[in-house]
Amino acid sequence: MDEDLEQLREQTSTGDRLDEASAEQEQHALQEAILAELEAIDAGEKQKTVSVWDGPMAALLSALEDRDDDLVETGEQLRDALGIEDESDPDRSEVLRLALRLGFETAAPDKLDATRSAVEEHASQRL
């Protein structure tokens, strides 16, 4: 019985290491793809803008813009949630950027980590 248990432990342990190595490879591949996209943006081959078709979100943003205090409050709440300190008043673009970042940070932090790593590598290549 102890032999069976030991074999099961070894199989599980090996599987975990293989899964971890595979996840690291996938993370690195995503980071490289993001880096390539950053280079294309810098070269003028791709746009920096992000567009979405979403009526309710468009309505929310328009209403926030019309109510400046609400826009500022929302931006500050997003900054707080992300741990960003900034005394300037956020604009519509920043509110959207922060909302996207918070969404990725909450639901897919590994994707945001790959982005951060790619941005750091991109910045160091430009030195």
The tens digit of pLDDT for each residue in 13-37 reads 655 666 777 888 999 999 999 999 9
Comparison of pLDDT for 127 and 44, the residue scoring more: 44
The tens digit of pLDDT for each residue in 56-97 reads 999 999 999 999 999 999 999 999 999 999 999 999 999 999
Q: Quote the pLDDT of residue 20.
A: 76
Tell me how far the alpha carbon of residue 68 is from its chain's centroid: 27
Residue 4 has pLDDT above 80, yes or no: no
* Phi then psi dihedrals of residue 88, to 5 deg: -75, 155
> Whole-angstrom Cα distance, residue 27 to residue 88?
34
Q: Token match 């290491």: residue?
A: 17
Q: For residue 31, what are its two tokens?
A: 């980071």
Q: Quote the pLDDT of residue 85.
A: 97
